[in-house]
Amino acid sequence: MTFVVTSACIDVKDTACLGECPVDCIYEGARKLYINPNECIDCGACESACPVDAIMSVRLVPQAEAEFVVDEARFFTTILPGRDAPVGDPGGAGRIGPIRVDTPFVAGYGR
């Protein structure tokens, strides 16, 4: 995994980063966006496009946000509420559209 979307995106979900991603690896949940770690090419275009500084390299994620690194991968590998199968690696968010559901961690995240 190269980049991760942290708590600053929750309930803001500014989509400026979507148009900057050359491989379409940013998926839309209900409360935040998620970067597919298997599809990301580590270009950093999304990071500079994020107006709330929610996107960062996993190497720079502060300890207080560390769970977001694990949870980002979880979004793609576990069966999310209301779905029959994991999101997986569909080869781009545009192929499947908004997911409109979050991991239990993000769904229950308090502000």
Cβ pair 69, 18 in contact under 8 A: no
**Would the pLDDT of 88 be above 90?**
yes
**Would the pLDDT of 1 be above 70?**
no
Residue with tokens 């990071």, as numbered in its chain:
47
**Would the pLDDT of 19 be above 70?**
yes
Domain boundary assignment for the chain? 1-92
CA distance 111 to 104: 15
Average pLDDT, the chain: 95
Q: What is the pLDDT of residue 12?
A: 95
Buried b / exposed e along 36-72 (16+ C-beta atoms within 10 A): bbebbeeeeebbebbeeebbbebeebeeeeebbbebb
- Confidence band, pLDDT 50/70/90 cuts, at residue 2: confident
pLDDT, mean of residues 24-35: 97
48: left (phi over 0), alpha (psi -120 to 50) or beta: alpha
User: What confidence tens digit (pLDDT) does each residue in 34-73 have?
Assistant: 999 999 999 999 999 999 999 999 999 999 999 999 999 9
Residue among 38, 42, 41, 14 at smallest CA distance from 28:
14
Q: Tell me if the domain spanning 1-92 has CATH number 3.30.70.20.
A: yes
